[in-house]
Amino acid sequence: MIFALILFIFVVTVYLYSTRTFDYWKKRGIKHDTPIPIFGTNAKGYLMQRSMSELAADMYWKYPKEKVVGFFRSSTPELIIRDPDIVKRVLLTDFSYFYKRQVSPILGSDEPLLKNLFNVDGDLWRLLRQRMTPAFTSGKLKAMFPLIVERAERLQVLLSSSHGKTVDAREVMARYTTDFIGACGFGLEANSLNKEDSEIRILGQKIFKVTYKGAFKAMAKQVFPQLCKNVRLTDRFESDLMGMVNAILTQRNHQPTGRNDFIDQLLECQKKGTIVGDSIEKLKPDGTPEAATLEMTDAIIAAQVFVFFAAGFETSSSTTSFTLHLLAYHPEVQRKVQDNIDTVLARHENKLSYDAIKEMSYLEMAFKESMRIFPSVGFLLRECAKKYTFEDINLTIDPGVKIMISLQAMQNDPQYFDKPEEFRPERFDPNELDSEATKYVYMPFGDGPRACIAAVLSKFSVEPAPDTVRYPEVEHTPGVVQIIKGGLPLLFKERKKQTGVL
């Protein structure tokens, strides 16, 4: 009897706790699906039936006449933005109200590896950005380019050995990306193209492997944030990554080596001492910002290495392989890309270089069009930092309300792109594109390594394999990056007349 009473009290308590905010959007007249206890309107996400990108896009298309749509991630109210003008307000005009990036609370910002430029917000984000932005100048990227070309040559050799057999473009691009990030980022010889079970490749797979246990832990942190604040989501790979970074730093005696790779840039940042800047979180009584400071510790360095590797590895391999997939189904576009590559290489002694890639304008347009159709990161997240009113729609939201922008939906909306289902690189011709009209609609994450596509198409043509799926499905995982289910099998056939070589 006592046990039954305790169980009843527990169930009622969980029910009341998890439904306490469910009238939030109703009170404000915002359309939304009916939430259910514990899950809110995110049941398909928690049960791994739809990814975050898919859920945001689903809600976008379900309410086509609305500028904003309500959503509940468990009991937390979220607002899905459907209007570019409101997107501009959130990301730019009223940034001081929406500087919080919302990823940290979801992932557990108390974890060392998550104190990186992608996950953090507020003062920590501003100070890291202030110190690290100079590390990515065009000159420094150009200096690293020979390392990229060397890995691209190995990619050509690997594809030549396939002898017309089906190759999973997603997997081979992941291995290539692992190699060039290992070299350009950390001075490591990953050798993933020749060795599938290389240590750094296994680490990359471990980082992005989504398990039911991991999904449950992420859900628990959202539903019961205070009870689960010590639950860690990076424990599966934290020691491996921290060990790798510590070994690199020890090998370099914590001093820049002149390699000008990412580790060197971080060590240069560390040498400059304490980072000081104006706070965006704290103000003095007179309204001026307080001073914010940050020490560039080894742990902070490790966190930046984590996001550099994880974000670069997954987004680059995703975008390059999907671009090749689209080109395989559009041979007329592929020929134009190849003609562009061949013409440019002929001007550069048939050698791939940083300057040559910058001249490949049609390749650039094809790449941008691929990222429009399938952005590797299909959404943006923000959080309201202080009470804010969207005056044109008479909506006031409170601090803590989450903001989601569906890039996947907006970039495929016929309101902004004519016949969005068509793969047409010409829409990104500078003479045709109205960049101002699409500025807050088209916002893909990163540019990806176009060099590897140039290297591949200078020597090979890609075609669908017998088991290639024309419109592949996305994995219904709760991760940030969209991952194609089952890979992207393609045929790589050597070109008969090859004018471009490395």
Residue 398 and residue 435 in one domain: no
Domain count, the chain: 2
Average pLDDT over residues 98-126: 72
Residue 260 and residue 310 in one domain: yes
Residue 371 and residue 394 in one domain: no
Contact 40, 25 (CB under 8 A): no
The Cα angle at residue 136 between residues 134 and 140, in degrees rounded to 5: 105
- The overall pTM is greater than 0.75: yes
Residue 386 and residue 349 in one domain: no
Mean per-residue pLDDT of the chain: 87
384 annotated binding-site participant: no
325: Cβ contacts below 8 Å, ≥ 6 apart: 169, 468, 472, 488, 490
Tell me the two tokens of residue 400: 């803590």
* Cβ neighbours of 193 (radius 10 Å): 20
pLDDT one-digit tens code per residue, 332-356: 999 999 999 999 999 999 999 989 9
Q: Which of 315, 431, 382, 446 is nearest to 88 (CA)?
A: 382
Whether residue 120 is predicted with pLDDT greater than 70 in this model: the reply is: yes
| Residue 136 falls inside a structural domain | yes
- Rounded to whole angstroms, how far apart are CA atoms 375 and 443? 9
Among 56-65, 96-105, 240-249, 421-430, where is mean pLDDT lowest? Answer: 96-105
Q: Which of 248, 299, 257 is nearest to 110 (CA)?
A: 299
Position 421 scores a pLDDT of 96
Whether residue 109 is predicted with pLDDT greater than 60 in this model: the reply is: no
Q: Which of 148-157, 311-320, 404-413 has the highest mean pLDDT?
A: 404-413
Q: 144 vs 180, 232, 349, 476, CA distance in Å?
A: 10, 35, 20, 36
Tell me the two tokens of residue 426: 């010409």
Residue 105 pLDDT grade (very low, low, confident, very high; cuts 50, 70, 90):
very low
Whether residue 499 is predicted with pLDDT greater than 50 in this model: the reply is: no
3-state SS string for 138-178 = HHHHHHHHHHHHHHHHHHHHHHHCCCCCCEEHHHHHHHHHH
Q: Which of 71, 70, 74, 12 is nearest to 39 (CA)?
A: 74
pLDDT one-digit tens code per residue, 180-228: 888 888 888 888 888 777 788 888 778 777 777 877 887 887 777 777 7
Residue 406 and residue 280 in one domain: no
Position 172 scores a pLDDT of 92
Residue 259 and residue 273 in one domain: yes
Average pLDDT over residues 464-475: 93
Q: Which of 365, 261, 262, 322 is nearest to 481 (CA)?
A: 322
Domain residues for the domain of 17 are 1-114+381-410
pLDDT one-digit tens code per residue, 13-38: 878 888 999 999 999 999 999 999 99
Whether residue 311 is predicted with pLDDT greater than 90 in this model: the reply is: no
Residue 289 and residue 363 in one domain: yes
Whether residue 133 is predicted with pLDDT greater than 90 in this model: the reply is: no
